[in-house]
C-alpha cells in the first residue's frame, strides 16, 4: 500500500502575537495542512520566551496536523526557549532540530513504503528453502 506524501511546509513561528494575529496565524496553518499527511516545520528562531499563548499556538498547530495524520517538528529553538519547553513538558510532543534544514530532512529519512520482499527471501528466512 502506497501512501501519498506531501511536501514539507516551513512556517516561521511569530515571536509575539496579539489575539487577532494568533487567529490569523492559526488560520494560515489550517489552510496549509489541508492535505493528507501534512509535514510542517515551525522555525522558532524569533521566539524569545515561552508563555501560555505560545504553548497554545504550538498545541493548536499539532492538533491540526494530527487531524490530517500529519506531524509538526520544531527547528532552531533558542536555548532559553528550549529549556522552558522541557520544563513545561511541551517538548515531549515535538521533535526538535537545531536547524530548519535538519527538520525538513527528517521527514525524508524513512520511506512510508517499504521495499517489497521477494517470496524466496521469506522462505529462506524461515529456513524452508
Percent of the chain residues past pLDDT 70, beyond the cut? 80
Whole-number pLDDT of residue 70:
92
* 52-81 mean pLDDT: 93
What pLDDT band is residue 127 in, cutting at 50, 70 and 90? low
Cα–Cα distance, 26 to 123 (Å, whole number)? 52
Structural domain contains residue 2: no
User: If you average pLDDT over residues 3-25, what whole number do you get?
Assistant: 80
Res 15: pLDDT: 81
Cα–Cα distance for residue pair 89/94, rounded to 1 Å: 10
In a domain, 78, yes or no: yes
- Domain hosting 15: range is 8-126
pLDDT of residue 74: 96
Query: Any idea what the CATH number is for the domain that residue 55 is in?
Result: 3.30.750.24
**Distance separating alpha carbons of residues 45 and 13, to the nearest angstrom:** 8
List, in order, residues 6 or more apart from 91 with CB less than 8 Å away. Answer: 82, 85
User: Diameter of the chain by CA atoms?
Assistant: 68
The stretch 49-56 carries a mean pLDDT of: 88
Is 58 a residue whose pLDDT tops 60? yes
- Mean confidence (pLDDT) of the chain: 82
Query: What are the Cα distances from residue 88, in Å, to 38, 51, 95?
Result: 26, 10, 15
What pLDDT is recorded for position 47?
Answer: 92
Cα 96 from Cα 7, distance rounded (Å)? 19
- Looking at residue 120, its pLDDT comes to 46
Predicted TM-score (pTM) of the model is 0.77
Residue 45 lies in a domain: yes
Look at the chain and report how many structural domains it folds into.
1
Other beta carbons within 10 angstroms of residue 5's beta carbon come to 16
Residues 91 and 82 sit within 8 Å (Cβ to Cβ): yes
Amino acid at each position: 500500500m502506497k501512501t501519498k506524501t506531501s511536501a514539507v511546509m516551513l512556517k516561521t513561528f511569530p515571536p509575539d502575537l496579539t489575539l487577532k494575529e494568533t487567529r490569523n496565524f492559526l488560520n494560515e496553518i489550517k489552510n496549509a495542512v489541508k492535505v493528507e499527511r501534512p509535514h510542517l516545520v515551525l522555525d522558532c528562531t524569533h521566539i524569545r520566551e515561552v508563555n501560555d499563548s505560545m504553548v497554545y499556538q504550538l498545541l493548536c498547530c499539532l492538533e491540526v496536523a494530527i487531524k490530517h495524520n500529519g506531524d509538526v517538528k520544531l527547528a532552531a529553538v533558542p536555548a532559553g526557549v528550549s529549556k522552558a519547553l522541557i520544563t513545561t513538558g511541551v517538548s515531549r510532543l515535538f521533535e526538535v532540530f537545531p536547524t530548519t534544514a535538519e527538520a525538513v530532512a527528517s521527514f525524508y529519512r524513512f520511506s512510508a513504503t517499504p521495499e517489497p520482499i521477494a517470496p524466496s527471501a521469506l522462505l529462506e528466512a524461515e529456513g524452508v528453502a
